């Protein structure tokens, strides 16, 4: 938890309470439905919470933004971002229903009213958003096919609407077809070794 406070020192008392509650909540849920590996649960704040919040370092969402989290798993990056941006709406989607049960339980315990979940493949979601976020569920060319037509036309943020993707390693081959893509190394924001090869990949997308 000290990590979160170090990198996000302007949290409200309520947000600090919500972030502090994440570890006991996920430990409890994980004992019933395994969504995080045993090794990772002990490093929840580094490997999941802070990693998710890297998106906020690159793009602090404007109030009223709508964000789709694709293949959210145990709720990352969506849950930490929903705590950080209470005036934004987060739609967390996963094709495995039991994972959403965990997220719904966590969101209810934290009174996170800006989260909703849907058990679905993302291709079947017929809505539009300011941004689409995810943690490395597939290669970018495949991902852009999944989310085609899901970006709003109106802009309200400093970046144009599009994808904010948490990925690691050398992405030059995977991203070579995209002329407008930008990579933000997480070592620019966090000093922990865990982030050494990790990035936020930003790809603006057209409305249609």
Q: Which residues contact 38 (CB under 8 A, 6 or more apart)?
A: none
Please tell me the distance from the alpha carbon of residue 113 to that of residue 115, in angstroms, as a whole number. 6
Contact of 82 with 115, CB cutoff 8 Å = yes
Once rounded to an integer, what is the mean pLDDT over residues 40-46? 95
Is the model's pLDDT at 195 over the cut of 80? yes
pLDDT tens by residue, 85-141: 999 999 999 999 999 999 999 999 999 999 999 999 999 999 999 999 999 889 999
Q: 3-state DSSP call for residue 41?
A: helix
Q: 182-185 and 198-204 as β-strands: parallel, antiparallel, unpaired?
A: antiparallel
Q: 198-204 and 162-168 as β-strands: parallel, antiparallel, unpaired?
A: antiparallel
What is each CA distance from 77 to 5, 73, 163, 178, in whole angstroms? 18, 9, 13, 24
Q: Provide the mean pLDDT of the chain.
A: 96
Would you state the pLDDT for residue 41? 94
Give the H or E element holding residue 44: helix 44-44
pLDDT tens by residue, 154-175: 999 999 999 999 999 999 999 9
Would you state the pLDDT for residue 38? 84
Is the model's pLDDT at 206 over the cut of 90? no
Beta strands in 153-205, from DSSP E residues, in sequence order: 162-168, 182-185, 198-204
Give the H or E element holding residue 94: strand 89-94
Is the model's pLDDT at 73 over the cut of 90? yes
Contact of 5 with 18, CB cutoff 8 Å = no
Q: Cα 122 from chain centroid? A: 15
At 39, the pLDDT band (50, 70, 90 cuts) reads: confident
């Amino acid at each position: 938890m000290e990590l979160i406070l170090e990198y996000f020192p302007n949290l409200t008392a309520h947000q600090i309470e919500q972030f502090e509650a994440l570890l006991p909540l996920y430990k409890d849920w994980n004992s019933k439905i395994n969504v995080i590996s045993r090794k990772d649960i002990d490093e929840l704040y580094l490997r999941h919470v802070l990693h998710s919040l890297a998106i906020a370092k690159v793009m602090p969402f404007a109030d009223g933004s709508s964000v789709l989290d694709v293949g959210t798993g145990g709720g990352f990056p969506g849950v930490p971002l929903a705590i950080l941006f209470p005036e934004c709406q987060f739609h967390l989607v996963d094709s495995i229903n039991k994972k959403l049960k965990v997220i719904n339980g966590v969101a209810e315990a934290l009174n996170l009213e800006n989260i909703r979940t849907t058990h679905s493949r993302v291709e079947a979601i017929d809505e539009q958003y300011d941004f689409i976020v995810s943690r490395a569920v597939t290669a970018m060319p495949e991902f852009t096919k999944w989310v085609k037509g899901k970006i709003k036309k109106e802009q309200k943020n400093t970046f144009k609407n599009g994808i904010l993707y948490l990925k690691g390693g050398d992405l030059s081959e995977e991203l070579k077809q995209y002329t407008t893509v930008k990579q933000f190394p997480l070592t620019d924001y966090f000093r922990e070794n865990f982030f050494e090869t990790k990035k936020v990949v930003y790809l603006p997308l057209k409305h249609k």
